[in-house]
Amino acid sequence: MDKLRPDAQMVQINAMQFIHLPSPDIIKSFGRSVHHYLGIPSWPVFASNRDPTMAEYFSAKSSNNTAVYATLYTGGTQVTPERYMQAIAALQPDMYVALADEVPGDARPKRVGQSVDRTIKWLDECLQHHQATQQQLLQQQQDEAAAPLPDPQLFAAVMGAGSEQERQRSAKAAAERDVAGFALCGFGMGEPAAARPALIAAALQHLPADKPRVVVGLATPEEVLEAVAQGIDLFDCSYPTHATAQGYALCFPLQPQQEQQQQQQQQECADADCGADDSKLNLWSLQYRTDKGPLVQGCSCFACRNHSRAYLHHLLHTHEMLASVLLELHNTHWWLGFFGAIQEAIQAGQLQQYIAWFKQRRQGLQQLPEGLIQAGAGKGQSWHKL
Amino acid sequence: MLSRACRRGIVTMASAELPSSSSPALQFQVLAQQGRARTATMKLPHYTAETPMFMPVGTQGTVKGLTSEQMQELDCHVILGNTYHLGNRPGPELVAAMGGLHSFINWPRGMLTDSGGFQMVSLLHLADITEEGVTFQSPVDGSRMLLTPEESIGIQNDLGADIMMQLDDVVPATNTDLARFEEATHRTTRWLDRCIAANKRPHEQNLFPIVQGGFDVGLRQLSMQQLIARNAPGYAIGGLAGGEPKDMFWRVVAQCAAGLPPGKPRYVMGIGYPLDILVCSALGADMYDSVYPTRTARFGVALVDTGVMKLKNAAFAKDMRPIDESCSCMTCRQYTRSYLHHVVTRGVSSASILVTYHNVAYMQGLTRRIRQAIKEQRLPDFSRAFLAGMFPAGNVPQWVVDALDVAGISLEGVAKLKPAHSFYEEVQAVQRIPAV
């Protein structure tokens, strides 16, 4: 993890993994927060209500009015707000999302309404548990020596699936509560990528501008850019994780100046028909067998500084673990570099130009249908198929 | 006789009194001896290693999940590459084009490659040994292929490791046909000569012969005689770690360690259990390799002085201690048994990397402690303490008691059993030394 500094600033975990094994009791008996338990004491932790890198399937069992049905490693189990908040209290993350009733992208209107209602109800229950825990801690502190109180920041979950109306309703209700931020949930659940911007916009209409917003489950750089332009602040790293799993090394240019370099690379690629595109290299391709160069020329990550494409190619073909170690390092580094470029563009007042350049570059190389480009979908859909 | 430097724990004796050797690509210097054990430096083209030394196995050009940087952090001096696997993928020509294995995987320290013969015999169906070489079915397309001594060395020359192993005629340790062992002994010598003739880089790469002879004292003696006559830079003791009874295993190590030239390194192939490493080092061996520490890590098993810790066991779910409180490796400094238990039971692959990291740290720590004990002339005490920790009820196995007795180490007070061997009668060539 240290190799990803300074760009990496926070680690995301899935709160659901701490419901059963290891249970809140086990973490409590450890005596320190999840940061220490996971061996990342110097990293802020964001606890989500689900894992964006996992393709979740929906079982016949579903949630009900009192609990989410969560599929854990140990099997399925009902998770009530109380149980969820016990885990959060034990973990003491820096930020977390309240328990939410997630539904698939094609859920029926009645089910979507239900998920909005339940999530609001559970938000209130989570808030109650949160306040009770904080009071307890305060009392304990008065009794013992004072170390700074852990103060996990609660993010309300904004639901609504594919319905703009429900998105608005959910956002309004969440905004009325005293929360630290908002998590726009339910993306990457099988809904059409082209529909996402409108859904995000619908929710954002009713959210205060001075509190952070996180979206988990967007698929591509273009979607991220679209969401940034709309006003989203926090994103996850499922894109580089998926790329790693498939043996891809991300290489999309982060700045217009890098474009020429990339064009050269892509020319090689296009000739070889190696299953890649201008945003990622397919290291499985035989064309990299004897390539002594780094994954991406000029990249300062550990993998690129120390190893060659030929070596990564060899590691993939021999199914060696080190392949994913090195690729994950590179891909995460690259993805975080992308966010660095976005921040610079915003600070320079050039975000729209940056977005226009980025989209146009892809469009130029791929001749995508106009409608898809407008929606910022790009190759987004294909990730869910792979 | 002991200088002040000695009392400080550093044995300084004139180098001329301690065994050493100088070959074109290897300089071996014993720094200190105690009983039959010795600690030495071994200067190789890429690195100066210290012995006794454990070499992790990086089968396909990587030590399962660890980066080259981590392997250096862990104080590894030499790692192994498997010629059979690398010969298939990515293939010797490619590795040579990449500048050799060191350059291809970016490992700056010592490297050793085996001949490929053992893997073939153990991994492949229809592997057959003739005077020409090892015939086998290609794993790629099933066609008949032949690995000769010349080809094995050719591949190893392309890989470019500091130490190459001869192609030897390997007989499974569980075989009982003495005639077959005899055939293998002589053939191994003939193949050694062919390997030596085929070595295109004798000034950059060392070629180690492998002593054969099964469990026959006479054959082992004969094998050693023949191989020593070729004046190699170092020697391996082969044909062990194949499922043979420990009782037979230690005798071969004892005989060969005593019979091989003292100024040259002695490599017992396939040894990785901490107990075996301690015993073999006490008997005078210097180098070991095994997949055991890294493989067992992937099953969630951590190595500690008292034995093994099976992290998948439910007992560890709430255990907030590190694997080993006395271990200063990254895994033990940052993670609890509880955390490791939960991630290894889920089969998260990075979890196995954490245990692998610890296990390699453990092996390097063990050999460091053995080297230090020899330097400080306290190997017997170290051995007794180690065994007391591993066998608190005193049930040290007979073979360990016997082997250490021959090594000159008494387990009185630590082991219930007494030495009960007749090694010195069986192998008259080895001089008795007193057990302290």
Express each pLDDT in B308-365 by its tens digit.
999 999 999 999 999 999 999 999 999 999 999 999 998 787 889 999 999 999 999 9
Check CB contact under 8 Å for B60 and A318. yes
Q: Does A2 touch chain B (CB under 8 A)?
A: no
* Structure-token match 């990550």, residue found: A301
From edge to edge, which strands make up the β-sheet containing B20-23?
A: B20-23, B26-34, B37-43, B48-51
What residues contact residue B343 under an 8 Å CB cut-off, 6+ apart?
A: B350, B351, B354
Of A307, A318, A321, nearest to B89 by CB-CB distance is A318
Q: Nearest C-alpha of chain B: how many angstroms from A305?
A: 11
Instruction: Report residue B177 CA to chain centroid gap.
Output: 26
State the binding site of A for Zn(2+).
299, 301, 304, 330
Q: Which is the catalytic residue, given B158, B162, B169, B289?
A: B289
Are A189 and A101 in contact by the 8 Å Cβ rule? The answer is no
Amino acid making up residue B348: V
Residue of A nearest to B64 (CA): A321
CATH number 2.170.190.11 given to A2-217: no
Mean pLDDT, rounded, for A134-160? 84
CB atoms within 10 A of CB B188: 27
* pLDDT over 90 at A63, yes or no: no
The predicted pLDDT at position A264 comes to: 66
* pLDDT over 80 at A273, yes or no: no
Of A29, A38, A321, nearest to B320 by CB-CB distance is A29
Give the pairing of strands B301-304 and B307-310: antiparallel
Mean pLDDT, rounded, for A11-23? 91
The predicted pLDDT at position B142 comes to: 76
A95 burial via Cβ count (<10 Å: 0-12, 13-18, 19+): buried
DSSP lists the bridge partners of residue A154 as: A96
- Pick the closest to residue B191 from B91, B116, B260, B89 (CA basis): B116
Q: Nearest C-alpha of chain B: how many angstroms from A370?
A: 42
Amino acid making up residue B143: S
CA distance from start to end of chain B: 19
Whether B289 is a known active-site residue: answer yes
- Pick the closest to residue B374 from B41, B7, B52, B3 (CA basis): B52
Provide the sign of the torsion angle of the four alpha carbons B50, B56, B61, B67, taken in this order: negative
- Pick the closest to residue A180 from A279, A98, A238, A78 (CA basis): A98
Distances (CA, A) of A48 to A38, A157, A184, A243: 16, 10, 11, 21
Check CB contact under 8 Å for B98 and A290. yes
The parts of chain B modelled with pLDDT lower than 50 are 1-15
- ipTM attached to this prediction: 0.86
Amino acid making up residue A72: L
Instruction: Report residue A275 CA to chain centroid gap.
Output: 25
Q: Nearest C-alpha of chain B: how many angstroms from A237?
A: 17
* pLDDT over 50 at A115, yes or no: yes
Domain segments of chain A as ranges: 2-217, 242-350
Residue A372: which H helix or E strand, with range?
helix A370-374
Are B360 and B63 in contact by the 8 Å Cβ rule? The answer is yes
Mean pLDDT, rounded, for A330-336? 96
B90 neighbourhood in chain A, CB within 8 Å = 289, 310, 314, 317
Domain segments of chain B as ranges: 20-291, 298-422
Q: Which is the catalytic residue, given B114, B158, B169, B402?
A: B114
CA distance from start to end of chain A: 27
Distances (CA, A) of B279 to B235, B266, B274, B380, B403: 18, 14, 9, 11, 7
A324 neighbourhood in chain B, CB within 8 Å = 349
* pLDDT over 50 at A157, yes or no: yes
Average pLDDT, chain A: 86
∠ CA A121-A125-A129, rounded to 5°: 170
Of A30, A39, A315, nearest to B320 by CB-CB distance is A30
Are A351 and A263 in contact by the 8 Å Cβ rule? The answer is no
**Which tops the pLDDT comparison, B135 or A331?**
A331
* pLDDT over 60 at A58, yes or no: no
B377 burial via Cβ count (<10 Å: 0-12, 13-18, 19+): middle
Mean pLDDT, rounded, for A145-155? 83
Mean pLDDT, rounded, for A136-143? 80
DSSP lists the bridge partners of residue B309 as: B302
Check CB contact under 8 Å for B60 and A311. no
Residue of B nearest to A329 (CA): B67
DSSP state of A148: P
A311 neighbourhood in chain B, CB within 8 Å = 61, 104-106
Q: Does B320 touch chain A (CB under 8 A)?
A: yes
- Digit-coded pLDDT (tens) for A172-197: 999 999 999 999 998 887 788 888 99
Residue of A nearest to B65 (CA): A322
Give the pairing of strands B26-34 and B37-43: antiparallel
In three-state secondary structure terms, A164 is: helix
Count of alpha carbons within 13 angstroms of residue B158, beta-carbon side: 19
Tokens of A42: 């110097």
Check CB contact under 8 Å for A302 and B353. no
* Structure-token match 């003791």, residue found: B237
Residue of A nearest to B319 (CA): A30
Check CB contact under 8 Å for B106 and A21. no
What residues contact residue B256 under an 8 Å CB cut-off, 6+ apart?
A: B211, B220, B224, B237, B266
Q: Does A140 touch chain B (CB under 8 A)?
A: no
Check CB contact under 8 Å for A321 and B336. no
| pTM strictly above 0.95 | no
DSSP lists the bridge partners of residue B54 as: B288
Amino acid making up residue A53: T
Are B216 and B226 in contact by the 8 Å Cβ rule? The answer is no
Residue of B nearest to A309 (CA): B104
State the binding site of B for Zn(2+).
327, 329, 332, 358
Interface test with B, best of A13, A25, A318, A330 (most B CBs within 10 A): A318
* pLDDT over 60 at A383, yes or no: no
Q: How many CB pairs under 8 A join A and B?
A: 83
Q: Does B3 touch chain A (CB under 8 A)?
A: no
Check CB contact under 8 Å for A322 and B65. yes
The predicted pLDDT at position A74 comes to: 78
Tokens of A65: 């009015």
Return the CATH number of the domain spanning residue range B20-291.
Answer: 3.20.20.105
